[in-house]
Amino acid sequence: MTSECTPRFLASDNTSGICPEAMAYLLEANQVDDLAYGNDHWTERAANRFRQMFDYDCEVFFVFNGTAANSLALSAMGRSYHSVICHELAHIETDECGGPEFFSNGAKLLTSPGANGKLTPEGIEALVTRRSDIHYPKPKVVSLTQATEVGTVYTREELLAIRAIADKHDLRLHMDGARFANACASLNATPAELTWQVGVDALCFSGTKNGLAMGEAILFFNRELAEDFSYRCKQAGQLASKMRYISAPWLGLLESGAWLTNAQHANAMAQYLTQGLQALPGVSLMFPAQANSVFVELPAHAISALKAKGWTFYTFIGAGGARFVCAWNTTVELLDLLIADVKIALEQHSG
């Protein structure tokens, strides 16, 4: 590949490597053999660290990826004849290939619109009250993504308002926390303030997007929902035999504080990129950049020119446009290169 199109990764935080803190704990866990299937001391330590971090005696499970985390958590929160209310741009609706429906044996996703990728109490209530007959899949779970798929965040007040509607209609609250750390960093809020203190029943917390090689933590604050959950994981092929290779790096993130500093850095890089792109004529921001993603409208020719130079980014997420995602290891130098290349791409076809 010529230097003209050296691959440059801003498609997703999924493209970043393992951060040093996670790698150090991975290597330490690799020093000796240990018990399998989560019976190792790393997994116990990591679970207890999550309980300390959230200041709550929650149930903790580790699985390989976010789709499994969401799908299995949702399957534990309702029955096959129930429905799950989510935003029309929700990952569980758009990018999990029917995983939530499959693992719940048929629970239907009911989607609702909402500005900036966020569910609203009104949108939720409209779906709940739309019908009450036996033919309608009874709403039982609300699933929201924090930070959202379009890089915005729910405030505590917004979460409390959603909880109030959930209480009114006996709904459970699932949080897709693929970028939960970024939301904590963006809102300067504690994990507890954005979960159980606003009535979240279960959180799927991504490590993959925050410096791990892989590994998601599923936290049940409503412990009743976690009954027999380990069997769900086993049956789904999500019970890692060498679980310490997921839990030890997680412990590295938590004990070092890198879970938050990685997110703070990624968010700061997104702010830097936003300022750089907004200074260019003809570039418009599609959503407020409140976490680590930046969505901009770009003309097709500019998108082609950027990809020809090796830039990787998605245009199928959210409401179209180009999505650039910053991660724990994104650098100002890389972003300056992107901003310069966007400028050139726009000027080349300005006529």
Which range in 61-69, 80-88, 110-118, 185-193 contacts ligand PLP by CB under 6 A? Answer: 61-69
Q: Which residues pair with 219 in a beta bridge?
A: 60, 203
Q: Which does 317 bind (CB under 5 to 8 A by kind): ligand PLP, ligand ALO, none?
A: ligand ALO
Residue nearest to ligand PLP (CB): 66
Candidate list 16, 75, 111, 145; residue touching ligand PLP; CB under 6 A: 145
Comparing CB distances to ligand PLP, the nearer of 43 and 208 is 208
Comparing CB distances to ligand PLP, the nearer of 101 and 176 is 176
Q: Which does 201 bind (CB under 5 to 8 A by kind): ligand ALO, ligand PLP, none?
A: none
Distance separating alpha carbons of residues 84 and 104, to the nearest angstrom: 10
Distance separating alpha carbons of residues 299 and 46, to the nearest angstrom: 46
Candidate list 21, 93, 101, 149; residue touching ligand PLP; CB under 6 A: 149
Kindly state the smallest distance separating residue 47's Cβ from ligand ALO, in Å.
Answer: 25
Interface size with ligand PLP, residues (CB under 6 A)? 11
183: left (phi over 0), alpha (psi -120 to 50) or beta: alpha
Q: Residue 165 has which token pair?
A: 């509607």
Query: Is residue 91 near ligand PLP by the rule CB under 6 A?
Result: yes
Residue nearest to ligand ALO (CB): 12
Beta strands in the chain (DSSP E): 8-9, 59-63, 82-87, 108-112, 138-145, 172-177, 202-206, 216-220, 284-285, 293-297, 311-312, 322-325
Kindly state the smallest distance separating residue 327's Cβ from ligand ALO, in Å.
Answer: 11
* 3 state DSSP class of 214: coil
Kindly state the smallest distance separating residue 72's Cβ from ligand ALO, in Å.
Answer: 17
Comparing CB distances to ligand PLP, the nearer of 173 and 283 is 173
Distance separating alpha carbons of residues 75 and 303, to the nearest angstrom: 39
Q: Which residues bind ligand ALO (CB under 6 A)?
A: 12, 14, 91, 95, 317
Kindly state the smallest distance separating residue 12's Cβ from ligand PLP, in Å.
Answer: 7
Q: How many CB atoms lie within 10 A of CB 253?
A: 27
Maximum C-alpha span of the chain:
66
Q: Which does 67 bind (CB under 5 to 8 A by kind): ligand ALO, ligand PLP, none?
A: ligand PLP
Write down the number of H helices and E strands in the chain.
13, 12
* 3 state DSSP class of 318: coil
Q: What is the DSSP letter of 201?
A: S
Query: Is residue 93 near ligand PLP by the rule CB under 6 A?
Result: no
Site string for ligand PLP, 170-209 (x = CB under 6 A): ------x-x-----------------------------x-
Q: Are 147 and 117 in contact (CB under 8 A)?
A: no
Q: Are 140 and 77 in contact (CB under 8 A)?
A: yes
Q: Between vectors from CA 61 to CA 317 and to CA 186, what angle results, nearest 5°?
A: 45
Candidate list 10, 58, 61, 67; residue touching ligand PLP; CB under 6 A: 67
Query: Is residue 276 near ligand PLP by the rule CB under 6 A?
Result: no
Q: Which does 262 bind (CB under 5 to 8 A by kind): ligand PLP, ligand ALO, none?
A: none
Environment class of residue 178 by beta-carbon count within 10 Å: exposed (0-12), middle (13-18) or buried (19+)? buried
Binding site for ligand PLP (CB under 6 A): 14, 65-67, 70, 91, 145, 149, 176, 178, 208
